[in-house]
């Protein structure tokens, strides 16, 4: 599988769910290790979520200085407050 095909990673109990346009796969590698290995176009937006920024469709401001990021497949992800600075840098704010 190509990294470009992955839309996001989400922590799921003891596993990490990897989502593509059509499929979901479970892997055993923690998000913290994945984050170190992934290219720059992947962004940690929540303690349990890393997104592929190439799949972002829309970003909206949300409650408590957070954001809702909508992906091209209509998945909506609310950012964690501790990741707001990284999200703002990515958005050039």
Q: How many distinct structural domains can be found in the chain? A: 1
Confidence of residue 65 (pLDDT cuts 50, 70, 90): confident
pLDDT digits (tens, 9 = 90+) for 22-63: 999 999 999 999 999 999 999 999 999 999 999 999 999 998
Which residue range forms the structural domain that includes residue 16?
A: 3-90
pLDDT digits (tens, 9 = 90+) for 9-23: 999 888 999 999 999
What is the pLDDT, as a whole number, of residue 85? 92
Which CATH number is 37's domain given?
A: 2.40.50.1020
3-state class of 81 per DSSP? helix
Give the pTM: 0.94
Of residues 64 and 79, more confidently modeled: 79
Q: Give the span between the Cα atoms of 29 and 50, in whole angstroms.
A: 13
From residue 80, how far is each of 1, 14, 48, 58, 59 by CA, in Å? Answer: 28, 20, 9, 17, 14
């Amino acid at each position: 599988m190509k990294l470009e095909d992955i839309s996001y990673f989400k922590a799921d109990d003891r596993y990490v769910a990897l989502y593509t346009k059509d499929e979901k796969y479970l892997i055993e590698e923690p998000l913290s290790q994945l984050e170190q290995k992934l290219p720059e176009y992947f962004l940690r937006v929540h303690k349990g979520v890393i997104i592929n920024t190439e799949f972002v469709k829309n970003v909206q401001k949300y409650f408590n200085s957070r954001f809702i990021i909508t992906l091209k497949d209509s998945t909506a992800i609310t950012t964690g407050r501790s990741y707001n600075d990284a999200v703002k840098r990515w958005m050039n704010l």
